[in-house]
Structure 1
Amino acid sequence: MHSHIPTLFRNPTIWTSQPRLIAAESTRHGGVSLPPYHSLNLGGQGTDSPENILENNHRFFNALQVSYERVAKSHQIHGTEVLHVTEPGAYQGYDALVTNHVNIQLAVTIADCTPILIFDPVQGAIAAIHAGWRGTAGKIVEKTLKTMEATFHTQAKDCQAYIGTCIDYASFEVGPEVAEHFDQDLKDWDPSRGKFMVDLKGANRKQLLAAGLQADQIEVSPYSTVLNSGDYFSYRHEQGTTGRMLATIGLRF
């Protein structure tokens, strides 16, 4: 039906039976930006033109049949602040957005960090989370679920979650000052590289499980921003000069 669409985004499969939910993760394809931002750069860092980025956003959200005027995003700071969104727009300083409003499309920007989308079908609440290593270590997933509980009476056991495409375990090399923030089962020392490898997807999955989700309520993207950099932007792999992807979730009437 939509043969041209999969180039722009991938949908989590966990929500295929939820017609009211619009959830997707962009790829790097189908936009107008030139190298090194080719092509669907949806984020504002770097020297890509604002016109290109805006056109790319319109293309991405149009493909999802979402009006760009309904989107809520935040300028992220690798922190753990959670914002309860009641109207669309651009916010500052939050790495997680939650809402129970229909027709507000939450979006987080990514280029190696872990995106997590959460849906509470009982209360009709959603969350979009940007978890870099700092946010992951700061338990932003747990904090977001607690905010949803306090704001919408969400119970974690009712929720479903998608852990999106990010840097993979074997590519995320860190020093001891980062590794010390992660449990033993989420990191390995690689003597050949003189670095630790940290599993960001695994760390966020562990937080979801600890909060009360069951394993079958969590989908984890099989893709890596580094190993699949032909399809995704990777800040690390492209030495900081690269575009940005979006992970997005919203409820329609």
Structure 2
Amino acid sequence: MQNSSYRTPAIFQTIPGLIAAESTRHGGISMGPYASNNLGINTDDDPAHVAENRRRFLANWQLTEADLASSYQVHGTAIRVALQGERTHGFDALITNKPGLLVGVTVADCTPILVYDPQNKAVAAIHSGWRGTVGGIVTDTLALMQTEFGTNPVHCLAYVGTCIDDCNFEVSDDVAAQFAPHRQRPASQPGKAFVDLKQANADQLREAGVPESQIELSPYSTVTHNTDYFSHRLEKGITGRMLAVIGAV
């Protein structure tokens, strides 16, 4: 199912019993810079509006907040094994194999990555900004899935979601230097460079053993397609958040 408030990645669309979605900025009730479908709890938006937006989003699958495990993200590399619906603190990736439980991350330029292991009905939702990418959060998440659930990356399907694109993600040279040379390029301004978050995270999936044919990259950008997605950088920090979720029911 598709509607204007979310998109289901093509790679997951035909899998029975799998919920996977990335929200857009459409279809909610928030106003001003948060218009309209802000799903970010930790913003200065009206909490009642955010709660209603999240209720509507989860209701697409007849679910509620009690069915969602998420965390206040800190741009780190900690991963939580989710056992129940909850809101925790300090984790930037969540994994589970519990039927009916969604795991989710919020983004507004950073990269959301969703992973499904069909052999073990296990899933992961990962929030990866430049720090998480450099820290190898995707690699670590797949390794923990293997330890916890017996996941073999060769069987996994993965989606590298909508984030800031390489044409707009300008960083300092010292940040860019932490990326592989083929995932960075000089900017016109001295001491600056552009880096490719999507491909850098996809590289970690490939290196872990996920086949190229089982990886989908979002064709969208939070900056270039800002009418459909929130961008923290473009909107100078005063904006909403998208939510990317996945779970096997």
Distance 2:107 2:16 in 1: 25
Q: Which residue of 1 aligns with 2:49?
A: 52
Aligned AA for 1:50? P
State the identity as a percent: 48
Give the alignment partner of residue 72 of structure 2, picking from 68, 75, 95: 75
Unpaired segments ≥5 residues, structure 2: none
Distance 1:86 1:26 in 2: 23
What are the within-5 Å matches in structure 2 for residues 97-136 of structure 1?
A: 97-136=94-133
What are the within-5 Å matches in structure 2 for residues 156-195 of structure 1?
A: 156-192=153-189, 195=192
Deviation digits for residues 177-207 of structure 1 (CA, Å, limit 9, x no counterpart): 2111101000000225752000000000100
Distance 2:190 2:8 in 1: 35
Answer yes or no: is 1:219 the counterpart of 2:219.
no
Aligned AA for 1:205? A
Q: Which residue of 2 aligns with 1:66?
A: 63
Q: Which residue of 2 aligns with 1:154?
A: 151
Q: Which residue of 1 aligns with 2:22?
A: 25
Aligned AA for 1:152? F
Conserved? CA contact 2:65–2:85, under 8 Å: no
Give the alignment partner of residue 230 of structure 1, picking from 209, 227, 230: 227
Distance 1:65 1:13 in 2: 21
Distance 1:205 1:117 in 2: 11
Distance 2:99 2:216 in 1: 23
Q: Alignment partner of 2:199: what SS?
A: helix
Deviation digits for residues 121-164 of structure 1 (CA, Å, limit 9, x no counterpart): 00111000000100000000000000000100111111110000
Deviation digits for residues 77-119 of structure 1 (CA, Å, limit 9, x no counterpart): 0000010011111011000000000011111000000000000
Unpaired segments ≥5 residues, structure 1: none
Aligned AA for 1:172? F
- The total of aligned residue pairs comes to 249
Distance 1:17 1:46 in 2: 34
Distance 1:204 1:56 in 2: 29
Q: Which residue of 1 aligns with 2:199?
A: 202
What are the within-5 Å matches in structure 2 for residues 231-250 of structure 1?
A: 231-250=228-247
Aligned AA for 2:212? A
Q: Alignment partner of 1:7: what SS?
A: coil
How much does 1:69 deviate?
A: 1.6
Give the alignment partner of residue 85 of structure 2, picking from 84, 88, 99: 88
Q: Alignment partner of 1:102: what SS?
A: coil
CA RMSD across the alignment: 1.1
Change (3 A) 1:193 1:55: farther
Conserved? CA contact 2:124–2:246, under 8 Å: yes
How much does 1:44 deviate?
A: 2.1
Change (3 A) 1:136 1:165: same
* Greater Cα shift, 186-195 or 111-120: 186-195
